[in-house]
Structures are given as structure tokens and as C-alpha cells.
Amino acid sequence: MSKKIPVIQIDPGTQKLEVYGKSKGVTTTDLYASRTKIYAKKVTGLFQKIRKFSLWMLIASYFSICWISINGQQIVHFDLPARQFHIFGITFWPQEFVLLSLLLIICAFGLFFVTTLFGRIWCGYTCPQTSWTFIYMWIEEKVEGSRNQRIKLDKADFSIQKLAKKVTKHVLWLFVAFGTGLTFVGYFYPVRELVPDLFTLNVTDGWSLFWIGFFTLATYINAGWLREQVCMYMCPYARFQSVMFDENTLVVSYDADRGDPRGSRKRNTDYKDKDLGDCIDCNLCVQVCPTGIDIRDGLQYECIGCALCIDACDSIMDKMKYPPGLISYTTEKKLEGKESRILRPKSVAYAVVLSLMICSFAYSIITRVPLELDVIKDRGALYQLTGLGKIENSYILKIMNMSDHNMEFEISVEGIESLHITTQTQVSVKSGEVYILPTSIEADPEKMKTNHYTIEFTVQALNEELSATSESRFLGTAD
């Protein structure tokens, strides 16, 4: 008898999901369930120390970098009106979008490479959502107390003390959210001007106020209210990470062979006689998890790899005088008792491609010339004869000065004997300016052997070793 595919039917009246199995009857579950608030318990340990350091460093960098200036220029400033992107002393322009694209691709491949080796370590130690949720949970613990105290406070009847704690927590949350929004806008609007203008009510740019308010609200909702919901339902990384996982990927895992069967027991008792594993079923690994999962159920997409459950479990193993590592960073092969390999075709391929892209980006930055020349030939007339019998072609030169100061340039052209420019040959171009210069050049038809030549325009900076070239075509008649 062939197997039948189970039929899934949704009852629109009750919003229930009914699954009709082969012989199990009907299973009814809710399609939608309200969020169950997670009360994460504080834990200490090696991985928590590393995580705390990385998150605080990320947060400190975010709030401080926009205030660092060199010669009056923010080291990171995305000046959209001026179309200038100042990043650590280098000014990029929209014409150099390919460099920005390459940088983003490098970041993506770097994330893929790290995920292939270490799983979701990015999520647990450096993700902005994790960082700001960490701040909010830290504030919540300082104001409302430990996990048990927070649970007790939420279940308690209304009181002035409860109201005071809740108001204090949310005020501090909003303060952090406002600082986050203000700092974010400070990367696009000079922060040393933005802050005084904002607090003196002199901000005339409505978009600045809008984005400060937008990111204030987004931070408050995401880190204060949604928290793990962002990781579980909004972040796409949680959905496609499994594509990069394999049996050699290092992930947080529970050793079921060692831990099961689970059960409580007294310390210093021979639990092996009771056919028990090392797991005492204390559920501390669940209580410390910021996404509220039970790692003992196996690898789950909700796991962000923060390793808090490892620290929690190791603390219990230490108290019970059991070996640590019941929950650990390990691989599927190690759990099966096989040898695990870091170097494998996938990781090597990612490493090679990533190295090539980094070298390419570094070479592009080192050899980058902050000057660009674009030559456009006049298509209205292919060529014309002057009164002196010379052949004249017209062009439009676009000179872009991508340096951080004004410069003087000399324009020249070569490609045909006797070729020369009949218009202006020296120009002054301001920093960031695209200078448009109509230009005409002449050639003696007696020197021309064909009807068309490839010529090369050169823009040379005066008093500096800086130049740019661009090719075009010169058309005429050969005598």
C-alpha cells in the first residue's frame, strides 16, 4: 500500500491548523501565538567575558568614531549633499561606487567564510541587534533585578514601586535609543554641528529630525520589545545560514550520548547505577538563553551561538564535580567520535576567494588616483575645416578633482603630429568639483595618413605628481 501525503487544512473560523495523519487522527495547534517573554538569567564564564568585551567594544566604537576628526574632518562622514564619503582619511566619490561594491562583497564573503568555520559566531558576539539588546537587558537587570525578581515584579499587582521601576527602565531605554539615532545621523550630518543645533533648537533640516526620530523608535522597539523576535523572524541570516553549515562547522551543541538519560540527583552520588547521564536537568541552559531555546533539542535556527548555555552548563558541571563540556563548541563529526577538519574544500574556496578580493581592494586603494578625466566627442559635427585649412574636432572634457584641496591642471593632447589644443589649456578645479570644459583641437591634414586616429588627452596637476588620461577619436580627411 502506497504512503499518502498528509493533508493540512486551515480552519478560517478558528485560525487552527488541523493535520490529518494516516492513523493518528487530528492534531490541532494554534497558527498564531503571542510572544512569551524571555527572562534571561545572568551567567558568568569565559565565553560571557569574551562576548561582553566584544559587544562593549562595538558599542563604544559606534558612539565614539563619529566624534573623531583629523584636520577638522570627521574620519567617517557620509556627506550625501556633497556626494563625498570620508572613510578613515580617504575620500570616495559616487564614481568610485565599484570600490564600495567590492567592499560590501568582501564583507559578505567574510561572513560566509566565518559561518562555514564557526557557525553563527557573528550573531552572538558582534551583531548590532545582539549588542543593543545586550545594553537593554543590562539596564533591565540593573533597574528591576535578577531573573527571579523580574518575574516576580511582572506578576505583582500594580504599585508605586512597580510603576517607578518600569518608568525608569523605559526612560533609560529611550535615552539609549535617542543617543543611537543621534549618533547614526551624526555619520551623515557633521555631528559637532548637529548636537549643538539640536539642543538649541536651531536644526532647520527636517530630514535630520525625521531620521533621529526614526532610529530612536526603531532601536527602542527592536532592542526593547522585539529582541529575539528580530533574530528569529526578521533577520534573513537565520534562514539561509544552514546552506553554509556542514558536519565540520563549529557550533554550540549538547552531547546527548554523555548527558542522556537526564535526571536530578544528589551531589557525590553514583548516578550511573540509576542509569542516568551527566545532565541533571536543571534547565539552567534554557534560563540563560537570550532566544529561549533548549539547546538539548539539537541545532536550531534560533540559536545565535552566544555560548551562554556553555558557561551555564560548565558551572553546574563544576559544582557536581563532573567534567566540563557537556554543552560545548563542537562539530557533528566530533559528536560522532570522528575526526573533524578545519581545512576542507568549502572553507579553502572561501578563503582563496576572500584573499583575492581583499588583495584586489587593497591594490585599488593603494593605486587609486584622486583625479578623473572623461572626454566626450561632439556628435553634432564629425569635423570641420577652419579658414586656414586645418581640421578641427570639438570635445567636452569633464575633469573631476577627487582630492581634498583645490588644484591647477595643465591639459595636453597627443596622437597626431602637429595636433594641438586651440582653446584653454590651464584650469583651476576646486576640491570635489566636476569641471566641464568645451575644447577644440586642430590637426594639419597633410600630416594625416588616415581618416581617423586614436588620440589621448592628459590632465596633469601643476606642482604635483598627479595626472589622468582618456582616449578619444579624431576624425578628418587625409591628403
Q: Alpha-carbon distance 391 to 475, whole Å? A: 8
Q: Please indicate, yes or no, if residue 357 is contained in any of the structural domains.
A: no
Q: Alpha-carbon distance 326 to 309, whole Å? A: 10
C-beta of residue 258 within 8 angstroms of C-beta of residue 271: no
What band does 309 get if pLDDT is binned at 50, 70 and 90? Answer: very high
Q: 377 and 330 in one domain?
A: no
SS (H, E, C) 410-423: EEEEECCCCCEECC
Residues 252-262: pLDDT tens digits?
A: 999 999 999 99
Phi, psi (5° rounding) for residue 388?
-95, 10
Q: Please indicate, yes or no, if residue 381 is contained in any of the structural domains.
A: yes
- Strand 384-385, strand 407-414: pairing: unpaired
Distances in Å between the alpha carbon of 318 and those of 81, 123, 256, 349? 59, 28, 19, 41
Q: Which single residue is written with the C-alpha cell 553549515?
A: 245
Q: 469 and 380 in one domain?
A: yes
C-beta of residue 181 within 8 angstroms of C-beta of residue 213: yes
Q: Please indicate, yes or no, if residue 281 is contained in any of the structural domains.
A: yes
Domain ranges, residue 390? 371-475
Q: Alpha-carbon distance 9 to 29, whole Å? A: 11
Q: What is the CA radius of gyration of the chain?
A: 33
Residues 454-472: pLDDT tens digits?
A: 999 999 999 888 999 999 9
| Residue 41 grid coordinates | 538569567
Phi, psi (5° rounding) for residue 320?
-85, -5
Total structural domains within the chain: 3
Q: Alpha-carbon distance 267 to 322, whole Å? A: 10
pLDDT above 60: residue 13 = no
Q: 405 and 323 in one domain?
A: no
Which pLDDT does position 375 carry in this prediction? 95
Q: Alpha-carbon distance 397 to 470, whole Å? A: 10
Q: Alpha-carbon distance 135 to 267, whole Å? A: 36
Q: Please indicate, yes or no, if residue 469 is contained in any of the structural domains.
A: yes
Q: 379 and 463 in one domain?
A: yes
pLDDT above 80: residue 388 = yes
Q: Please indicate, yes or no, if residue 411 is contained in any of the structural domains.
A: yes
User: By C-alpha distance, which of 397, 401, 393 is closest to 376?
Assistant: 397
Q: 420 and 376 in one domain?
A: yes
Q: Please indicate, yes or no, if residue 405 is contained in any of the structural domains.
A: yes
Among residues 335, 362, 380, the one where a domain terminates is 335
Question: Cα–Cα–Cα angle for 446, 447, 452, nearest 5°?
Answer: 105
Q: Please indicate, yes or no, if residue 231 is contained in any of the structural domains.
A: no
Q: 468 and 377 in one domain?
A: yes
Which pLDDT does position 94 carry in this prediction? 80
AA identity, residue 445? P
Among residues 283, 312, 335, the one where a domain terminates is 335
Query: What SS3 class is residue 224?
Result: helix
Q: 306 and 385 in one domain?
A: no
Which pLDDT does position 81 carry in this prediction? 83
Among residues 317, 335, 353, the one where a domain terminates is 335
Residues 44-76: pLDDT tens digits?
A: 999 999 999 999 999 999 999 999 998 888 999
CA dihedral of 209, 59, 103, 73, whole degrees rounded to 10: 60
Output the domain CATH number for residue 438.
2.60.40.10
Which pLDDT does position 20 carry in this prediction? 43
Q: 466 and 384 in one domain?
A: yes
Q: Please indicate, yes or no, if residue 263 is contained in any of the structural domains.
A: yes
Q: 451 and 385 in one domain?
A: yes
The chain-wide mean pLDDT, for the chain, equals: 87
Q: 391 and 316 in one domain?
A: no
Q: 392 and 331 in one domain?
A: no
Q: Alpha-carbon distance 78 to 190, whole Å? A: 9
C-beta of residue 20 within 8 angstroms of C-beta of residue 11: no
Residues 101-152: pLDDT tens digits?
A: 898 899 988 988 999 999 889 999 999 999 999 999 999 999 999 999 999 9
| pLDDT, mean of residues 370-393 | 88
Q: 375 and 331 in one domain?
A: no
